[in-house]
Amino acid sequence: MPPSPLGASPDPVPSDPDPRLNEPAKGAEPAFVLEVEVRYSETDQMGVAHHGSYLIYLEEARTGLMRAHGTPYGDVERAGIGLPVRNISLKYRAPAFYEDRLQVHCWVSALRSASVTFSYEIYRGEQDGSCTHLLSATVELACVDLSTKRPRVMPDALHEAFAARLI
């Protein structure tokens, strides 16, 4: 695995806000796909995946994307940077059920000097080869200094790592 691109530079050049949210560019593939099976503990009495379970799937996809592209979240934290959730938006389209195999598509959709937004789509493959769109979501993360718990500008190398994943 390549070294984490976290730098100690305190003065990164801020990027302009990117208005593209929740939609990959035409012809572009999402940056990361996580496959997950709905577990029994994530369902209600009717076998339907609980709405809160989706937040776990999103977080697993986000940290998987970061790890796959050489910026494991653990390295970010060890460098003194936190990325807490600032805003989250979910649109449920269809239910998932116990033992469904899901694909969570995740990509960086917006980047600012002190925040990053990830977008997601969750699909279930059907027996006839089609896919059912279950959920659309965006999660905005703020950049904070873990020692002070205060917002801060993102380090250059981390900003560049996210910019390289921007769709």
Q: Which residues are catalytic?
A: 44
Q: Cβ distance 153 to 9 under 8 Å? A: no
How many residues are present in the chain?
Answer: 167
Q: Cβ distance 142 to 1 under 8 Å? A: no
95 residue type, one letter: P
CA distances from 69 to 22, 65, 86, 112 (A): 20, 6, 23, 19
* CA atoms lying within 13 Å on the CB side of residue 162: 29
64 residue type, one letter: G
Give Cα 144 distance to the centre of its chain.
Answer: 17
